[in-house]
Chains A and B, each alone.
Chain A
Amino acid sequence: MAVKGMTRRGALRAGAGVVAAGALGAPMVHAQGTGGSLRVAFWDHWVPTGNDAMRALVKDWSEKNRVDVTLDFINTTGNQLQLAGAAQAQSKSGHDIISLAPWDVGTYANVLEPVDDVINRLIAKYGPINQVAEYLAKRDGAWRGVPAVSGTQNKPACVRFDLMQEHAGLDVRAMWPASGEAGPGADQWTWDTFLTAAEKCHKAGYSFGLPLGAFSDAVDWVGALFLSYGASMMDEKGKVTVRGNQKLRTVIEYAVRLSKALPNDVWAWDDASNNRALISGRSALVFNPPSAWAVAKRDQPQVAEKCWTIPMPAGPEGRFLAYLPWTSGIWNFGRNKTAAKALLEFLSERSSAEALTSKTSGYDIPPFASMSDFKIWETEGPPTGTVYNYPLKPHHKAKPSIAFAPAPGEFAAQMYVQALNTKVIARVAQGGDTVDQALGWLERELNTIVRGG
C-alpha cells in the first residue's frame, strides 16, 4: 500500500489545528491571576454548609489576590484524606496545601514548609495559640502547619438535662449556664460525681454513651480522663512510665468501674454509635462536638431541645477537654508557597474564623482562646445557649488535651492510633486480665513502639 507523504507545510497546518482546538477547549480561569495558581485539598466538612463557607472565603481571597485556586474537598471516610497525604508525601507531588489529621503533621514534618512567620503574626494579633495545636504542629522548634479552624473540634459533654435531673439529681444548666460564669455545683462536677450519675442513669435505662473501642471519640475522652488523674504512659522524652505508676493504676481502676455502668457493647462502638445513642433518646450523656445535637435537631427535635453542652468533669489533677484539631500544611515541594501562606493566614483571621464557625452552627473551633466568644455559640438552639459551653471558656478552668501528650509526637501518634488507653481498660474490664497483667502488656507495647524509633 502506498503511503502518502506528509509535507512540512501540512504538518504545520495540522499542528496549528491542534493548538487552536486545545485553546478553545481549555478551562476558563476565574481570577485572571498574576499571583499564580494554588491547588488546595481541604477536609470535606461533616456539616453540609461547611464547604460552602470555605468556598466563599477562598473565592473572595483568590479574587482579591488574583490567584487561581483549585479547591478539592476530600473526605475522611475510608481515610481518603490521610491516604492522599501519604501518597503526596511519598511522590512529592500533588496539592500545594493539604488538611492534615492531628498526628500527620509530625509524620510528614520533613516535607512540610515551616510557617513560623505566619504563626508569629497571628499570635501577635490574637494572643496565645492552643497548646495542643502547638504540640502537634511544631517539630524541632518550627511550625510545620497552621492550626485550622475548619473541622477542629472539642468533645465536651452533651447532656440530656431532663434525664440527668430526673435520675441523677443534677441540674446541669444551673451548674453550667450560658453565661460567662460557673453556677452552683459546678465545682462538684468531678469524675466521682460523674461515676455516680452514670450508675444512676444506667439503672434507669439511660446509660451514658461512652465508646471504649479504637475510634477517636473513645481515645479522646479516655485521654482527657487519664490526664485529669495525672496518668501518663510516656514522658516527653519518650521514657515509658508504666512501672510503679500509681496514678495510671488508679485511673484504670476508675475506668473499669465506670465501664460497668455503660452499655455492654461499648467495646465495639465507632464514632457514630455515641451519636446514635443520644439521638435515639437512649442515652443521658455523650462526649461529642455538637454534631450529635445538630442531627437530633433535624431528626429528633424533641431530643435536641433537651440537650445541653457542659465541660468534661474534673479529676485530681484538674479539668481537661478533649480537643481534636486539623492542621493545614504546605508541602515544601509545592509551587506557590508564598500564596499558600497568604491564604492560610487569611483563613485564620478572626473574621474568616467567625464566618466558618457561624456557617457550621458553631462546630468549628478556632485555635485562639481569644476567639471563644463568637455570637453563634450564644444564639444557637434550641434550647438557646445549648452550645455556649462548647468552646473552652476561661471560667471552665480547663485545659485542652489530646490523648498521650506529652509523649514525643512520633510515639504518641502510634499510641493514639492503636488506642492503647482504651485497650488497657478493655483488657481488664472485658478480657479478665488483672490490672498488673494489663499494665505489663501496656509496657511491652510501648517498648516496641519506642524501639522502632
Chain B
Amino acid sequence: MAADGTLVAGVPASASTGRANGLQRFARRRSTIAFLMTLPLIALIGGLVVYPAGYAMWLSTLNRRMTANIGLGNFELLLENDTFRAVIWQSCIFAVGAVVLKALIGFWLAHMLHHIPAKGQRKWRGMLLVPWVIPPALSTLGWWWMFDPSYSSINWLLSIFAVPAVPWLGEPWWARLSVIMVNVWYGSPFFMIMYLAALKSVPDQLYEAAAIDGATGWQGLRYVTLPMMQNIISITVLFSLIVTFANYDIVRVLTNGGPRDLTQVFASYAFQVGILSGNLPRGAAVSLFMFPVLAVFAFFILRGINRRNKEQM
C-alpha cells in the first residue's frame, strides 16, 4: 500500500504506457477517489435539495399564470398584505416560543434523567421519547380531539373541578398557545436526548474540581455544564428553529390557520396560497421568505461553533 493509502500492487504490465499511467494516476489520486465516493451523496443533495430549492426560487419570481418573470414582485405584494405581515409575526411567536420552551424542558428532563441510576434510566428515556417517534400528523389528531371545540376531553376534565370550558382552538391566543403546546410536546424529547448525550460527555473531574473549589450546584451548572454544552445547545437550537419555522402539520391539523388566520405560519399559509388557491409562485415566495433570515442566523451560529472548536484545539 502506498503512503497515500492507495493500492499499488497488481498493476498489469500492459498498462504501462504513458497515457494509461496518467489515467491511472488520476484515478488513484486521493481527491479523485474521495470525489467518486461522495458522488452518490452529491447527486442526492443535488436532486433532492439544490434542484427543488432552485426551482422554488425560480417559481417565486413568476406571475400567477407562470407566463412572465416579475422579479421580486411576489415578495413586494406579500409585504403589503395585512395577513402575510401577521403570518410573519405569528411564525416568529410560534417558532421562538416553541424552541425556547423545548430547550428549557429538554434541558430539565435531561438533567432529571442524568441523575437517575443507569438501571432505570433506559426505561424512562424510552418513555420520554414516545412523543417524538409518533408521526406528528397522527399525534396532532389526538390533540385535536382533546381540544375539539365542542367535545374537548380536557374541558370535560376541567368541568369536574368546576373550571369553565377553555376555547382551545376558537380564541386566537388560546389557539396559538395550543399550537405551541403540541409542538413543545412533540419536540422536547429531541432536545432531551441531545442534551443528555452532551451531559454524559462532560468529564466528572471538572465537577470534582469545581466542588473542591467550593462551587455551588448553580455555579457548577453556570461555569461547567453550560460552557461544555454550548456547542450542542447552539446546534440543537438552530436545527429546531429551522424545523419549527417550517412546521406545517401541527397547524394544518389543529387549527387550519384559524381563527381568522391568527395561527397561520409560513408553511400552512404557503400551502393555502400556493396549492389550494392555485397561486404556486406566490406560495413559493411565502415558503422562501424566511430563507435569508435563517441562512444568516445559521451562518453566525455555525461560525461561533467553529471558533469555539478552534479555541479548544
Interaction A to B? yes
Q: Which residues of A contact B (CB under 8 A)?
A: 78-79, 82-83, 86, 90, 103-104, 106-108, 110, 213-215, 263-270, 273, 276-277, 280, 282, 410, 413-414, 417-418, 423, 426-427, 430-431, 441, 444-445, 448, 451-453
Question: Contacts of A410 on B, CB cut-off 8 Å?
Answer: 64, 278
Q: Which stretch of B36-44, B75-83, B112-120, B305-313 is in the interface? A: B75-83
Given contacts A267-B170, A452-B64, contact A444 B81 (CB under 8 A): yes
Q: Is the CB of B77 within 8 A of A213?
A: no
Which chain B residues border A280 with CB–CB below 8 Å?
A: 151
Tell me which of B63, B149, B151, B280 has the highest count of chain A C-beta atoms within 10 A of its own C-beta: B149
Compute how far the CA of A106 lies from the CA of B260 in the bound complex, rounded to whole angstroms. 26
Q: When the two chains form their complex, are residues A453 and B63 in contact, meaning their CB atoms are under 8 A apart?
A: yes
Residues of A within 8 A of B63 (CB): 452-453
Task: Name the contact of A107 in the complex, choosing from B83, B259, B278 (C-beta under 8 A).
Answer: B278
| B132-154 residues at the A interface, CB under 8 angstroms | 137, 149-151
| 28 A/B residue pairs, CB under 8 Å, sorted by A | A82-B276, A90-B280, A106-B278, A214-B261, A263-B149, A263-B150, A264-B170, A266-B149, A268-B169, A268-B175, A268-B259, A282-B150, A410-B64, A414-B273, A414-B278, A414-B279, A417-B272, A417-B277, A423-B260, A430-B259, A431-B260, A444-B81, A445-B81, A448-B80, A448-B81, A451-B77, A452-B77, A453-B63
Contact partners of A417 in chain B: CB under 8 A:
272, 276-277
A276 and B83 within 8 A (CB): no
| Among A79, A106, A276, contact of B276 (Cβ-Cβ < 8 Å) | A79
In the docked arrangement, what's the CA distance between A108 and B260, Å? 28
Interface size of B in residues (CB-CB distance below 8 Å): 34
> Inside 8 A of B256's CB, which chain A residues have their CB?
213-215, 270
B167 at the interface (CB under 8 A from A): yes
A276 touching B150 by the CB < 8 A rule?
A: yes
Pair A453/B64 contact, Cβ less than 8 Å: yes
Q: CA separation between A59 and B84, bound complex, in Å?
A: 48
Asked if B258 is at the interface (CB within 8 A of a chain A CB), the reply is yes
Cβ of B176 < 8 Å from any Cβ of A? Answer: no
Indicate with 1 or 0, residue by residue over B257-268, a CB within 8 angstroms of chain A CB atoms: 111110000000
What residues of chain A lie closer than 8 Å to B275, measured between beta carbons?
79, 82-83, 86
The answer to whether the Cβ of B255 comes within 8 Å of any Cβ in the partner chain is yes
The answer to whether A277 and B277 touch across the interface, beta carbons within 8 angstroms, is: no
What residues of A have a CB within 8 angstroms of the CB of B74 in the complex?
452
Cβ–Cβ < 8 Å partners of B123 in chain A = none
- Residues facing A in B174-229 (CB within 8 A) are 175
A104 CA to B175 CA, complexed, in Å = 30
B65 contacts the other chain (CB 8 A): yes
CA distance A35 to B246 in the complex (A): 48
Distance in angstroms from B235 CB to nearest chain A CB is 32
B229 to chain A, nearest CB (A): 38
The answer, yes or no, to whether B102 is at the interface (CB within 8 Å) is no
> How long is the Cα–Cα vector from A452 to B260 in the complex, in angstroms?
22
B181 to chain A minimum Cβ distance, whole angstroms, is 16
Taking CB as reference atom, which chain A residue is nearest B81? Answer: A448
Report the Cα distance A427→B170, complex, angstroms. Answer: 13
Q: Is the CB of A268 within 8 A of B255?
A: yes
Which residues of the other chain, A, contact B272 by a CB distance below 8 angstroms?
Answer: 417-418
A79 surroundings in chain B (CB, below 8 A) = 271, 275-276
Contact of B282 among A82, A427, A441, A452 (CB under 8 A): A452
Q: A268-B169, A426-B260 are in contact. List 16 more A-B contacts (CB 8 A).
A: A86-B275, A215-B256, A264-B167, A265-B149, A268-B170, A268-B258, A276-B150, A276-B151, A413-B277, A413-B278, A414-B277, A414-B278, A417-B272, A448-B81, A452-B279, A453-B64
Inside 8 A of A213's CB, which chain B residues have their CB? Answer: 256, 258-259
Candidates A86, A444, A453; contact of B82 at CB < 8 Å: A444
> A267 touching B258 by the CB < 8 A rule?
yes
Q: How far is the CB of B22 from chain A (nearest CB, A)?
A: 26
Most buried by B among A90, A265, A430, A441: A265
Q: How far is the CA of A63 from the CA of B137 in the complex (A)?
A: 41
Please determine whether B83 and A445 come into contact, CB atoms closer than 8 angstroms.
Answer: yes
Q: In the complex, A263→B169 CA distance in Å?
A: 13
Tell me which residues across on chain A come within 8 A of B82, comparing CB atoms: 441, 444-445
Q: Determine the chain A residues whose CB is within 8 A of the CB of B280 once the complex forms.
A: 86, 90
9 cross-chain pairs, A with B, having the tightest CB-CB distances, nearest first: A107-B278, A265-B149, A268-B169, A268-B170, A267-B259, A265-B170, A414-B277, A417-B277, A417-B276
User: Which A residues lie within 8 Å of B83 (CB)?
Assistant: 418, 445
Quick one: closest A residue to B78, CB to CB?
Answer: A448
